[in-house]
C-alpha cells in the first residue's frame, strides 16, 4: 500500500475538515431555504472516504457509486466543490446544471457515478459497472457504497451472487452508521454484524473501524488488490456514525444527545489531528492556516453558488432527447 506519511495526515486533515465545514454550510443554507428538498449530511463518516481515496486510482480506472449521502465523495475525487454546491442550490453552474440536486451528484469525468435516491438501487448497478470493467479488461475496480438500511434489500443478494459467480472487480461497502433512516440495526434484523451476509456467498468479508482512515485504507487496499488480481469481490462493513440526522428533517428522537457526544470522542478528524500534533507534523499556526483555507474555500463555494443563475425553462427540453423528424422543440446543448 502507498505509505501513510506526514503529507497524508496533513492532506487528510484538510480534506476532512473541508468536507465537514462544507456540509455545515449546506445545513445553514437549507435552514435559509436555499437548498430545497432533502439534504443528507456526511458529518462523522469522513474517514470512510478519506481512507478509500488513499488507495484508489483517481482520475483513471477506479470508480465509485453510492446512495444519496453523496456531496463530499465527488469533491474528494476531484470535482470542483463550487459546482457541487451550485448543484445543491439548483443553479445552472452545478454538476448537472441544477437538475440533479442533493441526492444525484454525478461526474463520469471523475469516475463518480452517483448519488442514487432509491434505497439499494446502486448495489446491482455497481456490480454492473464492475462487469463492464472485467469484460473490457480495463483493470478498474468499482467501490459500491450503501447504508445499513439498504443491506435489507433483496437486490443486494442478487448482486452478491452474480459478483461471486463471475468474480467481478467490485468492493461492496456498507457504511453502517447505526440507524438507517431512524431505526437501529438491532430492530431490523436478528444479527448486528452486517458483514456476515457475505459468508452465505463465500465472499471475503469483515468489519472495519470506519472512524479511522488508516484502518479503512488498509482494508480497502487488500480488497482492491484482490479485485485487480481477478479474484473477485469483497464485502466490508465500515462501522461508523453520523452526528446529524438521517436528513435535515430528522428530529432524531431515536437516540440521545449523550450518545452522539460519546461518538464525538472518536471523531475521525480529531483522531487525525491528534496524530499530527503528537508527531509534530504541523505547528498550531500551520493548523490554523489550514483551518483558514478551509473556511475561505467554503465561503467561495457558497458565494459562487448563490450568485449563479437558475436554469432557463428551455433547459427542460434540452435534456430529454432530440428527434430529427420532430423539429418543433429546439435543442441547444
Q: What is the arrangement of strands in the sheet containing 234-239, beginning at the earlier edge strand? A: 63-65, 142-147, 170-176, 234-239, 205-209
Please report the pLDDT score of residue 328 as a whole number.
83
Please report the pLDDT score of residue 85 as a whole number.
98
Please report the pLDDT score of residue 329 as a whole number.
78
**List of residues 6+ apart from 116 with CB closer than 8 A:** 65, 66, 67, 68, 103, 104, 122, 125
Q: Tens-of-pLDDT digits for all 333 residues of the chain?
A: 999 999 999 999 999 999 999 999 999 999 999 999 999 999 999 999 999 999 999 987 999 999 999 999 999 999 999 999 999 999 999 999 999 999 999 999 999 999 999 999 999 999 999 999 999 999 999 999 999 999 999 999 999 999 999 999 999 999 999 898 898 888 888 888 999 999 999 999 999 999 999 999 999 999 999 999 999 999 999 999 999 999 999 999 999 999 999 999 999 999 999 999 999 999 999 999 999 999 999 999 999 999 999 999 989 888 888 888 888 877 777
Please report the pLDDT score of residue 60 as a whole number.
76
Please report the pLDDT score of residue 327 as a whole number.
80
Where does residue 230 rank: exposed (0-12), middle (13-18), buried (19+ CB within 10 A)? Answer: exposed
Please report the pLDDT score of residue 316 as a whole number.
86
Question: Cα–Cα distances in Å, from 291 out to 46, 211, 298, 305, 319?
Answer: 16, 21, 11, 21, 40
Instruction: For the beta carbon of residue 321, count every other beta carbon within 10 angstroms.
Output: 9
CA angle 69, 71, 76 (to 5 degrees): 120
Beta-bridge mates of residue 64: 112, 143
Please report the pLDDT score of residue 66 as a whole number.
98
Please report the pLDDT score of residue 286 as a whole number.
98
Amino acid at each position: 500500500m502507498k505509505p501513510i506519511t506526514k503529507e497524508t495526515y496533513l492532506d487528510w486533515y484538510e480534506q476532512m475538515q473541508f468536507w465537514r465545514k462544507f456540509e455545515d454550510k449546506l445545513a445553514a443554507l437549507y435552514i435559509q431555504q436555499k437548498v430545497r428538498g432533502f439534504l443528507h449530511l456526511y458529518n462523522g463518516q469522513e474517514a470512510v472516504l478519506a481512507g478509500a481515496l488513499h488507495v484508489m486510482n483517481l482520475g483513471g480506472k477506479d470508480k465509485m457509486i453510492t446512495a444519496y449521502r453523496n456531496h463530499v465523495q465527488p469533491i474528494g475525487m476531484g470535482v470542483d466543490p463550487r459546482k457541487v454546491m451550485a448543484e445543491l442550490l439548483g443553479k445552472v453552474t452545478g454538476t448537472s446544471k441544477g437538475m440533479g440536486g442533493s441526492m444525484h451528484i454525478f461526474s463520469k469525468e471523475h469516475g463518480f457515478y452517483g448519488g442514487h435516491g432509491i434505497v439499494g438501487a446502486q448495489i446491482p448497478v455497481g456490480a454492473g459497472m464492475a462487469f463492464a470493467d472485467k469484460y473490457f479488461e480495463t483493470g478498474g475496480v468499482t467501490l459500491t457504497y450503501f447504508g445499513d438500511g439498504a443491506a435489507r434489500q433483496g437486490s443486494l443478494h442478487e448482486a452478491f451472487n452474480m459478483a461471486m459467480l463471475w468474480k467481478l472487480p467490485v468492493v461492496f461497502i456498507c457504511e453502517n452508521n447505526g440507524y438507517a433512516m431512524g431505526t437501529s440495526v438491532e430492530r431490523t434484523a436478528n444479527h448486528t454484524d452486517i458483514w456476515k451476509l457475505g459468508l452465505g456467498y463465500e465472499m471475503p468479508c469483515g468489519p472495519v473501524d470506519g472512524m479511522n482512515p488508516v484502518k479503512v485504507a488498509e482494508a480497502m487496499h487488500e480488497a482492491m488488490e484482490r479485485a485487480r488480481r481477478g479474484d473477485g469481490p469483497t464485502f466490508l462493513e465500515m462501522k461508523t456514525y453520523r452526528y446529524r440526522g438521517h436528513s435535515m428533517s430528522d428530529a432524531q428522537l431515536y437516540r440521545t444527545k449523550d450518545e452522539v457526544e460519546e461518538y464525538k470522542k472518536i471523531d475521525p478528524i480529531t483522531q487525525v489531528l491528534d496524530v499530527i500534533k503528537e508527531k509534530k507534523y504541523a505547528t498550531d499556526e500551520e493548523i490554523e492556516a489550514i483551518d483558514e483555507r478551509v473556511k475561505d474555500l467554503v465561503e467561495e463555494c457558497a458565494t459562487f453558488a448563490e450568485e449563479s443563475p437558475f436554469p432557463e425553462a428551455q433547459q427542460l427540453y434540452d435534456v430529454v432527447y432530440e428527434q430529427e423528424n420532430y423539429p418543433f422543440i429546439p435543442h441547444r446543448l
